[in-house]
Amino acid sequence: MADLPEIILSELDVARIETLIERMRGSKDDYRKLEAELARGRIVAPQAIPANVVTMNSRVQFKIQQSGKVFEKTLVYPKDLSTSSDTISILAPIGSSLLGLQIGQHIEWPMPGGSVTVEIVDIPYQPERSGDFAA
């Protein structure tokens, strides 16, 4: 597997995700990849998050490099997952993979039958960039 790109995480997001993980322990295995992502991230104050980093509640455009298909989703906590296709849970494999990435970075994403390369294309909305530290 290729080296993983550096990720930057908001200390507020990390605290909330750790609380989510603690509530899930013993009931699901979904938290294991998420814990690994948190462990490898550089954690900073929400006010210090660069504007080009995917954080919780960010609206993110990402591209599957092999197909060129672009998706736009909002990265959310499970409680905020909508029935429409415009949100993605932090517990989904792609959700935990997107967290902390910067525009232009890419990551390998496992899929049935192989893996694909996902690249961050744009972040049309990021709470921290908008001054929303409660999101």
Over residues 109-117, mean pLDDT = 83
Provide the 8-state DSSP code for 6. P
**Does 132 fall in a domain?**
no
pLDDT at 2 over 70: no
The domain in which residue 35 lies consists of 8-125
- How confident is the model at residue 91, as a pLDDT? 86
77 vs 87: CA distance, rounded Å: 9
Q: Please, which residues have CB within 8 angstroms of residue 5's CB and are 6 or more apart in sequence?
A: 101, 102, 105, 106, 107
Count CA atoms closer than 13 A to 119's CA, side-chain side: 10
**Does 54 fall in a domain?**
yes
Angle, alpha carbons 123-124-128 (nearest 5°): 75
**Does 30 fall in a domain?**
yes
**Does 134 fall in a domain?**
no
Domain count, the chain: 1
Is the CB of residue 60 less than 8 Å from the CB of residue 127?
no
Instruction: Select the more confidently predicted residue: 5 or 57.
Output: 57
The enclosing domain of 28 has a CATH number of 3.10.50.30
Q: How does DSSP assign 71-90, residue by residue? A: EEEEEE-GGG--SSTTEEET
Instruction: Select the more confidently predicted residue: 132 or 70.
Output: 70
**Does 2 fall in a domain?**
no
